[in-house]
């Protein structure tokens, strides 16, 4: 028996935008959107609604801002049988004023990404989005380096002060093993009210993004993030096609995602590099931000794994 | 606390040989052997000891046969702090007469790979290897398509009629999810005597080889197969570097494996293609042998995933 509460959120364009400064062509965005609609995925996240004061539109692509006109162009004329559009706001890099009232927007869901330290900013953004009529979530990033004595009160605040439909465990560093997934999902489930779903968002540094998503499902998580062919910064994400291959809900259709991999995502490999590579694995096992691995891979020493490992060990020493 | 019973067996050359008809250069084999010795991996499997009546030496490389002289050349002069050499025999493609007595061999361990239907052949080979002084295992292949009413009696035979140190769950098709890993490891644990370890060997069609290995560990499996950088037929295997990054036994040294990835295995990408690809994922989710995906990927239609999926669905229909 499938679990009808399970929702799949494809964030290929949004999270993939961290790999190319959100410089996707309109054709690419429409390709992903169309595939997700045909696959009957529950939500498709088309980018960030971040502040133009924090990100220069000269440097970043349209999908870092998701102006309503651009969102309209992304979805225009594409048949939609219930797939909802999501945008993400970074708690420390977005403004409530950038959101139109829901009835003037293509988006239905606003997800606020935050570090625990910015939880009050996140809650303010969430409250504003909720007041404007959106469904909302809060996504707690870099969970693998947060301390319980800070995380637990933050979750309690989310429980009391927001109207989120889901709150996410986000393993930004790709550091978690299944035991830690159990730990965090159990904690969320314990602290959050029953009507708030637990969401999971995993990275593939250790080839565990899909496995950890399954582990989250087993533990009760019902909001699941994925990207087509795992497109994403560094090692990438839980692949949408694997998730649809696993889920039993007969409404999902995996075929359009296959087409999207072949026609829309694989061509991006010419401009963006992602996937399992040893430097990404090293930052994952050492519970570090992927930026050092990304920088190392751009240099002439991109195969000097041992040297990189020893440098990262130095950095981890406290 | 680490579990000292856990043994890592690197089968880069043996299992990787299914991707290139065992045509590795001596330099490559020595590179992998040296890295495994330096990493203090427990066993390193340098190939098959299969019959030259079943495989033509004109077609297959040296490591399909592992003549003792070739094994000696592979290990000659390389410092070894306890890493044991393994060879594999296919139950239906090998002969007991091809094994020298243990004291005349470089190998310590002989692993017999078998389908359930060939269990009597496997046991005969195992018995012969044991009598000649080797440690032995039996590795039950394609476990995801075996029926309990055949598998259970085969395990009971192994329990009664052999002296194996371990008996393996081999997910040849990369079809298993964590729940099935639990199912099989629990079954093996229940049927096999206490002094026989459970082994696990997983393929990466669904990016689950490493995750399923961890699941096996959690469930009590103590013999773990892996290959450097996941080298292997089709989607490949559980990467040795990920496994060493996870295991806590301080004897392991991950650095030589990093060097081996960079210097020995990545150069092989010019002649062998392996890793996560949609056709391999499709055979995995449909619980099929990888051969159809491998054939499809050699053709001009290698991106026609939807067509391949529909063809495979036809094939699965009974």
List pLDDT tens digits, range A154-166: 999 999 999 999 9
Chain A residues lying within 8 Å of B209, measured CB to CB? 207
Residue B246, token pair as written in the block: 């996870």
A88, A45 Cβ separation under 8 angstroms: yes
Cβ neighbours of residue B30 under 8 Å, at least 6 residues apart?
B74, B75, B78
A147, A123 Cβ separation under 8 angstroms: no
Strand, coil or helix: what is A203? strand
Fold of B7-270: TIM Barrel (3.20.20)
Count the neighbouring beta carbons within 10 Å of the beta carbon of residue B300.
6
Q: Give the distance from residue A45's alpha carbon to the nearest chain B alpha carbon, in angstroms.
A: 23
Parallel/antiparallel/unpaired status of strands B43-48 and A135-140: unpaired
**pLDDT exceeds 80 at position A107:** yes
Strand, coil or helix: what is A121? helix
Helix H or strand E segment including A71: helix A68-75
Q: What is the pLDDT of residue B292?
A: 97
* Residue of chain B whose Cα is closest to the Cα of A267: B303
* Residue of chain B whose Cα is closest to the Cα of A265: B303
Facing A266 at nearest CB: one of B209, B303, B310: B303
Q: Would an 8 Å CB–CB cutoff place B183 in contact with chain A?
A: no
Residue A179, token pair as written in the block: 């035991």
* C-alpha closest to that of A170 among A88, A249, A59: A88
**pLDDT exceeds 80 at position A259:** yes
Q: State whether A214 and B177 contact (CB < 8 Å).
A: yes
Q: Give the distance from residue B254's alpha carbon to the nearest chain A alpha carbon, in angstroms.
A: 9
CA distances from A113 to A134, A230, B86 (A): 15, 20, 50
* C-alpha closest to that of B272 among B305, B306, B238, B298: B298
Q: State whether B211 and A209 contact (CB < 8 Å).
A: no
Q: What is the pLDDT of residue A1?
A: 84
Parallel/antiparallel/unpaired status of strands B7-10 and B107-114: unpaired
* Residue of chain B whose Cα is closest to the Cα of A244: B285
* Residue of chain A whose Cα is closest to the Cα of B309: A255
In the numeric block, the tokens 């049988």 are attached to A81
Helix H or strand E segment including A72: helix A68-75
Task: Write the secondary structure of chain B as one string of H (helix), E (strand) and C (coil).
Answer: CCCCCCEEEECHHHHHCCCCCCCCCHHHHHHHHHHHHHHCCCEEEEEECCCCCCCCCCCCCHHHCCCHHHHHHHHCCCCCCCCEEEEEEECCCCCHHHCCCHHHCCEEEEEEEECHHHHHHHHHHHHHHHHCCCEEEEEECCHHHCCHHHHHHHHHHHHHHCCCCEEEEEECCCCCCHHHHHHHHHHHHHHCCCCCEEEEEEECCCCCHHHHHHHHHHHCCCEEEEEHHHCCCCCCECEHHHHHHHCCCCCCCCHHHHHHHHHHHHHHHHCCCCCCCHHHHHHHHCCCCCHHHHHHHCCCCCCCHHHHHHHHHHHHCC
**pLDDT exceeds 80 at position A318:** no
B155, B187 Cβ separation under 8 angstroms: yes
Phi, psi of A82 (to 5 degrees): 120, 0
In this prediction, the residues of chain B whose per-residue pLDDT falls under 50 are: none
The whole-angstrom separation of Cα A191 and Cα A39 is: 33
* Residue of chain A whose Cα is closest to the Cα of B254: A306
Phi, psi of B168 (to 5 degrees): -105, 140
Q: Would an 8 Å CB–CB cutoff place B272 in contact with chain A?
A: no
Parallel/antiparallel/unpaired status of strands B84-90 and A7-10: unpaired
**B 233-252 residues inside an 8 A Cβ radius of A:** 239, 241-242, 245-246
In the numeric block, the tokens 């393929």 are attached to B203
Domain boundaries, chain A: 7-270, 278-316
Strand, coil or helix: what is A89? strand
Q: State whether B262 and A305 contact (CB < 8 Å).
A: yes
Q: Would an 8 Å CB–CB cutoff place A307 in contact with chain B?
A: no
Q: What is the pLDDT of residue B31?
A: 98
* C-alpha closest to that of B239 among A235, A307, A271, A226: A235
At B97-113, the pLDDT tens digits run 999 999 999 999 999 99
Q: Give the distance from residue B286's alpha carbon to the nearest chain A alpha carbon, in angstroms.
A: 9
Facing B178 at nearest CB: one of A179, A214, A261: A214
Q: Would an 8 Å CB–CB cutoff place B212 in contact with chain A?
A: yes
A20, A70 Cβ separation under 8 angstroms: no
Q: State whether A242 and B206 contact (CB < 8 Å).
A: yes
Residue A13, token pair as written in the block: 């364009």
Q: What is the pLDDT of residue A279?
A: 98
The whole-angstrom separation of Cα A293 and Cα A20 is: 16
As to burial, measured by CB atoms within 10 angstroms (0-12 exposed, 13-18 middle, 19+ buried), residue B163 is middle
Q: Give the distance from residue A207's alpha carbon to the nearest chain B alpha carbon, in angstroms.
A: 6
Q: Give the pLDDT mean for A108-135.
A: 98
Q: Give the distance from residue A173's alpha carbon to the nearest chain B alpha carbon, in angstroms.
A: 15
The whole-angstrom separation of Cα B293 and Cα B282 is: 8
The pTM of the full predicted model, rounded to 2 decimals, is 0.98
Q: State whether A210 and B206 contact (CB < 8 Å).
A: yes
Q: Would an 8 Å CB–CB cutoff place B295 in contact with chain A?
A: no
Helix H or strand E segment including A47: strand A43-48
Parallel/antiparallel/unpaired status of strands B7-10 and B223-226: parallel
A243, A43 Cβ separation under 8 angstroms: no
Q: Would an 8 Å CB–CB cutoff place B216 in contact with chain A?
A: no
Q: Give the distance from residue A198's alpha carbon to the nearest chain B alpha carbon, in angstroms.
A: 21
Chain A residues lying within 8 Å of B303, measured CB to CB? 262-263, 266
Q: What is the pLDDT of residue A317?
A: 84
Q: Give the distance from residue B23's alpha carbon to the nearest chain A alpha carbon, in angstroms.
A: 24
Q: Give the pLDDT mean for A251-277.
A: 98
At A44-84, the pLDDT tens digits run 999 999 999 999 999 999 999 999 999 999 999 999 999 99
Residue A28, token pair as written in the block: 């690419």
A191, A162 Cβ separation under 8 angstroms: no
Q: What is the pLDDT of residue B1?
A: 84
């Amino acid at each position: 028996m499938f679990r009808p509460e399970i929702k799949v959120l494809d964030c290929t364009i949004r999270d993939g935008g961290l790999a190319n400064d959100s410089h996707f062509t309109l054709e690419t965005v429409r390709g992903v959107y169309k595939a997700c609609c045909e696959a009957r995925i529950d939500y498709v996240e088309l980018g960030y609604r971040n502040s133009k004061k924090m990100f220069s539109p000269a440097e970043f692509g349209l999908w870092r801002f998701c102006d309503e006109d651009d969102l309209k162009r992304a979805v225009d004329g594409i048949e939609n049988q219930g797939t909802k559009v999501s945008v993400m706001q970074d708690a420390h890099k977005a403004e409530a004023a950038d959101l139109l009232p829901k009835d003037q927007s293509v988006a239905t869901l606003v997800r606020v990404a935050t570090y625990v330290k910015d939880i009050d900013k996140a809650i303010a953004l969430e409250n504003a989005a909720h007041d404007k009529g959106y469904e909302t979530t809060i996504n707690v990033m870099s969970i693998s380096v947060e301390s319980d004595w800070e995380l637990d009160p933050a979750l309690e605040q989310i429980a009391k002060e927001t109207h989120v439909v889901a709150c996410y465990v986000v393993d930004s560093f790709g550091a978690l093993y299944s035991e830690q997934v159990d730990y965090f999902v159990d904690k969320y489930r314990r602290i959050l009210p029953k009507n708030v779903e637990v969401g999971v968002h995993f990275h593939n540094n250790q080839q565990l993004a899909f496995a950890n998503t399954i582990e989250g499902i087993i533990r009760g998580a019902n909001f699941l993030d994925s990207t087509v062919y795992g497109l994403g910064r560094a090692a990438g994400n839980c692949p949408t096609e694997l998730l649809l291959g696993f889920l039993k809900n007969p409404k999902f259709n995996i075929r359009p995602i296959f087409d999207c991999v072949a026609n829309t995502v694989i061509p991006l490999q010419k401009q963006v590099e992602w996937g399992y590579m040893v430097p990404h694995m090293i930052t994952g096992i050492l519970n570090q931000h992927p930026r050092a691995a990304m920088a190392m891979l751009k240099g002439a020493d991109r195969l000097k794994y041992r040297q990189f490992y020893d440098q990262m060990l130095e950095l981890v020493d406290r």
